[in-house]
Chains A and B, each alone.
Chain A
Amino acid sequence: MEECGDTNITLREFGCEQSLLSRPDGSSSFMQGDTSVLAGVYGPAEVKVSKEIYDRATLEVVIQPKVGLSSVRERLQEQSVRETCEAALLASLHPRSSLTLVLQLLHDDGSLLSCYLNAACMALMDAGLPMSCLFCGVTCAVNAEGQIITDPSAAQEKESRALMTFAVESTEHRVIMSSTRGSFSVHELQQCIAVSQKASEKIFQFYRDSVRRRYSKIL
């Protein structure tokens, strides 16, 4: 396998704001270039008896598209985000309670799933829910020439041959979720995972800086 250490990983401009909404227990907005998502977390709150799990919290993820009702595409993204969050959250510390994560799409300009994941992580952190590690989403596109583009825009996504999104956790930089589209070789998959793990370090550093800025008032 090729060494990806020397490849320069470019991510678009990131932006994040925490606890910007007053009603939810935790909220965040996350921007990756022109892609923008707003997230709100409610919980641990009272849970419906039918959804109660006796030894851990019930996590519900709702993705709201910009216009119209959510469709199958949103359902799939909801499931990916939910499974990633469940892997990172210590849900057993709040048994018989509900956690609700609402993600509102503001603008889609590519790398949407990774932006959902990043917004979700920041919102969960803002709500103060116990987590074993952080996670971030990285999208990689493989274009016709076989080049790997991290954090592609919508135009780059359209031209690409394959599109992969990975959720990477912060402690050992392991992949905890992957979602792929298009055709690619095993070698390309491994390359993309390595690139994503490399890019995740940058994103985690961004997380740390933005949380530090948030707490700067009470230091």
Chain B
Amino acid sequence: MYSCFKDKIGEVLLPGDEFSFETDETISLTDTVKAEKVVCGPGLRRNGDQVLVCKSGVLRHKQPNMFWIDSQQRRYVPAKGESVIGIVTAKSGDVFKVDVGGSEQATLSYLAFEGATKRNRPNVQVGDLVFCQFIIANKDMEPELVCIDSAGRANGMGVFGAGGFLFRVSLGLVRRLLAPRSDIISDLEKLLPCELVVGMNGRVWVKAGSVQQTLVVANLLESCENMTAPQRQALFRRVAQGAL
């Protein structure tokens, strides 16, 4: 029974708020009774037949039964399957140590690149940026990254080329950028064509036609953080008219 969730969707919740699941008092004899399952995402914890909120943020819902808390966090906590931008900090034996902004450095095997073999090592130097995804990420183990998908293809992942600009935004903004048909991205692509790589860890890499344009895009994205849609559109219009 997630009716108690339904009327809270889109509301701001704080840690300590709770939902209790009580079964309906009257059970219909004609309808088949089916168990309703609720999938709790980030910020929600199960405790017996209660669901507790443990982060502040907005309650979101996705059909049919997924609920999570959307919060504006800055610190990244690795999660399996998420794509991130990492910085290679060390080469040790057959793994690279990669800084992803979490509490621990992640490891990236040199064999986890497209076309890499024992003899054919990928060309990765300390300080390089890599776009990669987590295959192991839990609180008890060292996180592990790969730059290939399950079919062994790079699929957009790997070492970044020269040029471009890396900056940090909040994790909330990253999720808004990565959302399907994101309105920020659609506004931006009308304004300036650019290459954009968004990591779930809050790092964004931009490359536009010139250094100036790259910086314009970076500053625009950073300022989107605390703007409502009309404010953003007004700013983008002013930039289009050559205000910057």
A residues with a Cβ closer than 8 A to B are 19, 24-26, 43-47, 88, 90, 93-98, 125-134, 169-171, 207-208, 211-212, 214-215, 217-219
Interface of B: prevailing SS: loop
Q: Could you tell me if A46 and B103 are in contact, using CB atoms closer than 8 angstroms?
A: yes
Q: Are B71 and A128 in contact (CB under 8 A)?
A: yes
In the complex, what residues of A have CB within 8 A of residue B226's CB?
217
Interface membership of B144, Cβ < 8 A: no
**Contact residue among B45, B58, B77, B105 (Cβ-Cβ distance under 8 Å from A219):** B58
Measured in the bound complex, the distance between the Cα atoms of B140 and A45 in whole Å is: 14
* B43 CB contacts on chain A under 8 angstroms: 130
24 residue pairs from A and B, CB less than 8 Å apart: A25-B74, A44-B102, A44-B103, A45-B75, A94-B103, A97-B103, A97-B104, A98-B103, A125-B15, A128-B57, A130-B15, A130-B43, A130-B54, A133-B15, A133-B16, A134-B14, A170-B14, A171-B18, A208-B14, A215-B58, A217-B227, A218-B58, A218-B70, A218-B172
Residues of B47-65 at the interface with A, using a CB-CB cut-off of 8 Å, are: 52, 54-58
| Interface footprint category on B | 20 to 34
Q: How far is the CA of A218 from the CA of B139 in the complex (A)?
A: 29
Q: How near does chain B come to A59, taking the closest CB pair, in angstroms?
A: 13
B123 on the A face (CB < 8 A): no
Starting from the known contacts A19-B72, A47-B103, 9 additional A-B residue pairs (CB-CB under 8 Å) come to A94-B103, A128-B75, A131-B54, A131-B55, A170-B15, A171-B16, A207-B14, A215-B12, A215-B58
Using CB atoms, name the residue of chain A closest to B227.
A217
Q: Which of B15, B43, B70 has the most CB of A within 10 A?
A: B15
> A131's contact among B16, B58, B172, by CB below 8 Å, is which?
B16
CA separation between A92 and B176, bound complex, in Å?
A: 29
Determine how close the nearest CB of chain B comes to the CB of A124; give it in whole angstroms. Answer: 9
Q: Which of A19, A130, A212 has the most CB of B within 10 A?
A: A130
Q: A93 near B14 (CB under 8 angstroms)? A: no
Tell me if B74 and A95 are in contact (CB < 8 A). Answer: no
CB distance from B198 to the nearest CB of A (A): 17
* B228 interfacial by beta-carbon distance below 8 Å: yes
Distance in angstroms from B221 CB to nearest chain A CB is 15
Query: Is there a chain A Cβ closer than 8 Å to B115's Cβ?
Result: no
User: Does residue B109 face the partner (Cβ distance < 8 Å to A)?
Assistant: no
Q: Please tell me if the beta carbons of A94 and B16 are within 8 angstroms of each other in the complex.
A: no
Q: Which residues of chain B have C-beta atoms less than 8 A from A207's C-beta?
A: 14
Instruction: Check if B16 sits within 8 Å of A26, measured CB to CB.
Output: no
Chain A residues near B15: list those with CB within 8 A. Answer: 88, 125, 130-134, 170
Are B16 and A170 touching (Cβ within 8 A)? yes
- Give chain A nearest CB distance to B88 CB in angstroms: 17
Q: Is the CB of B75 within 8 A of A212?
A: no
Interface: B73 (CB within 8 A): yes
Residues of A within 8 A of B172 (CB): 218
Contact between B54 and A90, CB atoms less than 8 A apart: yes
* Chain A residues with CB below 8 A from B12, complex form: 208, 211-212, 215, 219
